[in-house]
Amino acid sequence: MAVEEEKGKVNVLICNTNNEDGQEQFCEEAFL
């Protein structure tokens, strides 16, 4: 999980990996 500060907001990159195959990955950017 990477956290970056941008324009006074906190940008959090959330990545979830499905380890059944270890190849399926879902990433979502959340602004807090």
Average of per-residue pLDDT across 5-9: 61
Q: Which domain holds residue 11?
A: 2-31
**Degrees to nearest 5, angle at CA 10 with 8 and 12:** 155
The rounded percent of the chain whose pLDDT value lies above 90 is 0
Average of per-residue pLDDT across 3-31: 67
- pLDDT bin (cut points 50, 70, 90) of residue 15 is confident
Environment class of residue 18 by beta-carbon count within 10 Å: exposed (0-12), middle (13-18) or buried (19+)? exposed
Q: What's residue 28's pLDDT? A: 77
How many domains is the chain partitioned into structurally? Answer: 1
Q: What's residue 29's pLDDT? A: 75
